[in-house]
Amino acid sequence: MATQTLQDLPLHHVEDIRTLIERAARCWGEKVALTFDEFNESITFSEVNEKTNQIAHVLLKNGIQTGERVAIMLKNRPEFALTWLALAKIGAVMVPVNVFYKEFDAKYIIEHSEAKAIVTSGEFLPLIRTIQHEVSTLETVFCVDPIEGPDVTGVFDFSALVASAPNSPPEGKVFAENLLNIQYTSGTTGRPKGCMLTHGYWLSIAKKNVEEPPHLNDGDVMLTAQPFYYMDPQWNVISALASGAQLVVLDRFHPSTFWEKVRKYNVTFFYCLGVMPTLMLKMPPSPEDRKNRVRHISCSAIPPHLHKELEERWGAPWYEVFGMTETGGDISVKPEDHDKLVGTGCIGKPNKSREARIVDEQDRPVPRGQVGELVLRGPWMMDGYFKNPEATQEAFRGGWFHTGDLAWMDENGYIYYVGRKKEMIRRSGENISASEVEEVIKLHPGVQYVACVPVPDDVRGEEVKAYVVLRPGETKETVPPEELVEFCSKKLAYFKVPRYWEYRDDLPRTPSERVAKHVLIKEKSDLRLDSYDRVEGIWR
């Protein structure tokens, strides 16, 4: 494609990531595209194009063809983003691997995806070498660090190969429908499922972020603190390439220094989720808090009771957004609705490319105001679950993607999130939303955050257990369980008040910073142990 044509090509005409990278290089050349804070390294849009060309040549020379899978097991370093984009240029597929995985779970992802190669670093090389001997499809191991040790047969020095590779565009062409990721879900209810995500999927998210709020542009500085094996930094990269914005990548989320980095880089936009906003507020207030340029914060699951406090402390608007790995970006609060929805828990209305319904167990729409399952329809969702047609068919039955989330819609079309369908606790025939109980407990001034799970019970089927993390300086003596029981009893139906209460210093979390309830449930065979039993009035 001619230079002039690429520069003038409207974003909505871009159909693949290769074209997007080349267009970004033409439009914003020597402007910084990516900054990796931990490495003090910045990469311009032109360098992104050239470096991904070099990596693409290395991959092609080592036998990686269109459609073949390459795993990446790296922390938040430049090679992760650049290798992913290089795979996009040759029509190959990335399989991100959680850096906390060990032999059992890492092997499953690599083996199930039939990855032909993996790009990793020295710290994970012993693990990958073990797996390599057990997975027949894994032919090639690339290490981004200097290779040390005697057993390096079949391991290639990735950095050296890239440095000597040409930076000319690789041959070939890719299309919107070409697969780019097999992105495995966290697997809270069984083995992880691989979401098949195309070029069109990623571009749809980026185009939304440019053409709809937050309306990213080349004057913006974005920031991400999530791990790159999770999808958020990935859509941040594509959004930067689509808009000309700079993206700052942190090594991970550090509550104590997060806003310091926001100020350092003059960040104007970031996305966060899970317990991140709560942990931010846990940090001591500073006179510097409001000295930032942030104009838009997107967040999934903003704690309603903290929403106003978050905005007042840092002087920036927080917008609720809803999306899934399977579907991309789906629902959000729009700027014109922001003020009236602060603290309501509303997740907004569907984005332009999405339709949403609330349905019952028979997939029939329920009346406005009634809780049901949230289902979605629209272009550029995942192509399905890799090698799992049954799960794909079940998820997309009737032409709508079934989110597994419970929600309700008001008479004006605003959607309110209730909780995960599979996180409903059923006590004596009553359905209890774990997230509803959690929201009430978090209203107590001594509570930092909380997670509720079901406990099997011979009489009532299930009872509710609350894991509580108190605010700094508080203890179970200053905030005893009896006080929390009384607090909940004034705000919830009696059957929703947790029977069991366990105090924790922290809670396990998933890569997306959500509480890993499946880990809590598997910690002990009897979940009543180490808990206060409000019915018996004893510690078990």
- Would you state the pLDDT for residue 150? 56
Mean pLDDT of the 118-122 span: 97
Mean pLDDT of the 504-517 span: 83
Mean pLDDT of the 514-540 span: 91
192 pLDDT band (50/70/90 cuts)?
confident
Q: What is the DSSP letter of 403?
A: E
- Provide the token pair at 465: 């257990």
- Would you state the pLDDT for residue 149? 62
Question: pLDDT digit string (tens) for 206-215?
Answer: 999 999 999 9
- Would you state the pLDDT for residue 506? 92
Q: Are residues 372 and 407 in contact, defined by beta-carbon separation less than 8 angstroms? A: yes
Residue 3 pLDDT > 80, yes or no? no
Which segment of 100-104, 308-312, 352-356 scores lowest on mean pLDDT?
Answer: 100-104
Task: Please give the share of the chain, as a percent, with pLDDT higher than 70.
Answer: 97
- For 352-368, letters b (16+ CB in 10 Å) and e give ebbebbbbeeeeeeeee
- Would you state the pLDDT for residue 493? 78
490 pLDDT band (50/70/90 cuts)?
confident
- Would you state the pLDDT for residue 515? 85
- Would you state the pLDDT for residue 431? 72
54 pLDDT band (50/70/90 cuts)?
very high
111 pLDDT band (50/70/90 cuts)?
very high
Residue 288 pLDDT > 80, yes or no? yes
Residue 335 pLDDT > 60, yes or no? yes
Which segment of 281-290, 365-374, 412-421 scores lowest on mean pLDDT?
Answer: 412-421
Higher pLDDT, 194 or 419: 194
Mean pLDDT, all residues of the chain: 93
The SS3 call for residue 269 is strand
Rounded (to 5) percent helix, strand, coil in the chain: 35, 25, 40
- Would you state the pLDDT for residue 152? 67
Question: pLDDT digit string (tens) for 422-473?
Answer: 777 888 767 787 887 898 899 999 999 899 999 998 878 889 999 999 999 9
- Would you state the pLDDT for residue 188? 47
Which residue is listed with tokens 């936009």?
A: 269
- Would you state the pLDDT for residue 278? 87
Q: Are residues 64 and 90 in contact, defined by beta-carbon separation less than 8 angstroms? A: yes
246-249 and 221-224 strand pairing: parallel
Sign for the pseudo-dihedral over CA of 466, 424, 510, 113: positive
The SS3 call for residue 508 is coil
Tell me how far apart the alpha carbons of residues 153 and 131 are, in angstroms, rounded to a whole number. Answer: 14
Task: Please give the share of the chain, as a percent, with pLDDT higher than 90.
Answer: 80
Tell me how far apart the alpha carbons of residues 448 and 444 are, in angstroms, rounded to a whole number. Answer: 9
What is the SS3 string spanning 440-462? HHHCCCCEEEEEEEEEEECCCEE
Mean pLDDT of the 72-79 span: 98
Mean pLDDT of the 249-254 span: 96
Q: H helices within 62-192, ranges in order? A: 78-90, 103-113, 125-132, 158-163
461-470 and 447-457 strand pairing: antiparallel
Tell me how far apart the alpha carbons of residues 52 and 508 are, in angstroms, rounded to a whole number. Answer: 36
Residue 227 pLDDT > 70, yes or no? yes
Higher pLDDT, 314 or 430: 314
- Neighbouring CB atoms inside 10 A of 484's CB total 26
- Would you state the pLDDT for residue 199? 98
Mean pLDDT of the 119-145 span: 94
Tell me how far apart the alpha carbons of residues 224 and 237 are, in angstroms, rounded to a whole number. Answer: 9
Residue 512 pLDDT > 80, yes or no? no
Tell me how far apart the alpha carbons of residues 407 and 331 are, in angstroms, rounded to a whole number. Answer: 12
Tell me how far apart the alpha carbons of residues 332 and 330 are, in angstroms, rounded to a whole number. Answer: 7
Q: What is the DSSP letter of 437?
A: H
Largest CA-CA distance found in the chain, in angstroms, rounded: 77
